[in-house]
A and B are shown apart, each in its own frame.
Chain A
Amino acid sequence: GAGVSQSPSNKVTEKGKDVELRCDPISGHTALYWYRQSLGQGLEFLIYFQGNSAPDKSGLPSDRFSAERTGGSVSTLTIQRTQQEDSAVYLCASSLEAGRDYGYTFGSGTRLTVV
């Protein structure tokens, strides 16, 4: 596609439920990143995928968070047993290749609200 597409754009869920957030990167971009943006905070790195390499999961805040990228394209971020502190905007970005400055293209994000 022309840009990075994320869905849903908004998600309200009850505490304790599981949620799945989807990211469809720009075609041909091998690097994909997930970030979390909480109110008044900078973007927090969550996870990074590069081609077929093992993902860097060092930013995931707990084992309730997981992500996968199927076929080197679409990625899904899953949050299990959601907590209120998980409420934030989850941004996905892709680039041609990690480790080089091709620049990121961000999606519009998924605003997650845990009630």
Chain B
Amino acid sequence: KNQVEQSPQSLIILEGKNCTLQCNYTVSPFSNLRWYKQDTGRGPVSLTIMTFSENTKSNGRYTATLDADTKQSSLHITASQLSDSASYICVVWGGGSNYKLTFGKGTLLTVNP
């Protein structure tokens, strides 16, 4: 069964600190992995997308890594800001004609002043 597991479930950090969120998946075949940010009361917004051949990708203070061999990904947030408080969701697509995505349950990040 295709699954995406994220850890931790929730995380509280102080403004200015760094943090790393984890994502393990069992989706097969694999085409790409996205990290989404979902602010409270909003829909998810894509932060990064990584394909099988990519190991790391950055988007400002967000850096995602992917190890397709171990089926693990991480999202590293540098110098956190209060606006980073949100749920971060890992999503995997199997590719081809399969239009369904497999979603993780998300990590709820709270950045405190």
User: Which residue numbers of A lie inside 8 Å of B, CB to CB?
Assistant: 4, 9, 31, 33, 40-43, 45, 48, 50, 56, 91, 93, 98-99, 101, 103-104, 106-109, 111
Contacts and interface: CB of A to CB of B under 8 A. Distances in A.
Given A42-B4, A101-B31, A101-B95, A106 B43 contact: yes
Given A42-B103, A50-B99, A91 B43 contact: yes
A83 B12 CA distance: 34
Contact of B34 (A4, A48, A103): A103
The binding surface of chain A is classed by DSSP as: loop
17 contacts: A4-B43, A31-B99, A33-B99, A41-B105, A42-B89, A42-B103, A42-B104, A43-B89, A45-B100, A98-B99, A99-B96, A99-B98, A99-B99, A101-B93, A109-B42, A109-B43, A111-B41
Contacts of B96: 99
Contact of A48 (B43, B45, B99, B104): B99
The binding surface of chain B is classed by DSSP as: loop
A106 B45 contact: yes
A108 B93 contact: no
Contact of A93 (B32, B41, B43): B43
B11 interface: no
Most chain B beta carbons < 10 A, residue from A31, A45, A48, A111: A45
A43 B103 contact: yes
Contacts of A9: 41
Contacts of B103: 42-43
